[in-house]
Structures are given as structure tokens and as C-alpha cells.
Amino acid sequence: QMQLVESGGGSVQAGGSLRLSCAASGRTISTYGMGWFRQAPGKEREFLSSIQYSSDVTDYSNSVKGRFTISRDNAKNTVYLQMNSLKPEDTAIYYCAATHFRISRQRGDYIYWGQGTHITVSS
């Protein structure tokens, strides 16, 4: 089993930045693709970004491409999401997750999930 714990959420004004961390325990993330998702009230959980085992391949949804950057430090067993130019519509609970696939946009491909961290962006 892998446990994932997100941190770094909070409240920020539009245009601001936040950096989320996702610390893994129980298993090493080095053999897993890692991803970030978010879920706003009344909406489906949405794919944001994914990163391959070795960090050389990343993928982003159109909604965050150019504003968010995913990275990983396998030695620290941690994945990050740097979020810049935040907008009120980025308000949601943010989740990290692990998949056996190298990289994936599909929520069903992810087998381990964190409990989420809240982000509120005010205008």
C-alpha cells in the first residue's frame, strides 16, 4: 500500500501562486506514474497533470497548461505541483494519485489517492 499526503493548500488572491507537495510513504514512487487532479463543488474530479517515472515526460490539461508545473523528486518520494497565475475557477480540492501506467489522464488508472488539500482563489 502507498499512502499519499498532500500539503500546501490554502487561500490566495487571483494572480497568486501556490506550490503543492504530495509526500508518499509505504512504497517508493519511482516505479509509478504520478498525477494531480482536482474536484470543485458539484463537479467531476478533473485531470490536471501527470508525470512519468523519470520526469522526462509530462502532460497537462488545457485548463492549466502554461500555468501549472508538475515535478517529482524520487529520492524524497515526493511530487509537486507549482501553480502560478491562479484564477477563481481554480478553487477546488486538489488530489495527488499514483498509477502503474507510465503516465495517464484517466482517473480510473490511478490506484492510490491522497485525501486532498483545499485551495481557494479569491478575486
Tell me, what's the pLDDT at 56?
78
**Which of the 8 DSSP states describes residue 77?**
T
Nearest to 94 by CA among 3, 2, 8: 8
Tell me, what's the pLDDT at 62?
97
Other CB atoms within a 10 A radius of the CB of residue 93 amount to: 17
| pLDDT, tens only, 63-117 | 999 999 999 999 999 999 999 999 999 999 999 999 999 999 999 999 999 999 9
Please check whether residue 51 is in contact with residue 33, taking contact to mean a CB–CB distance below 8 angstroms: yes
What's the distance, CA 82 to chain centroid?
9
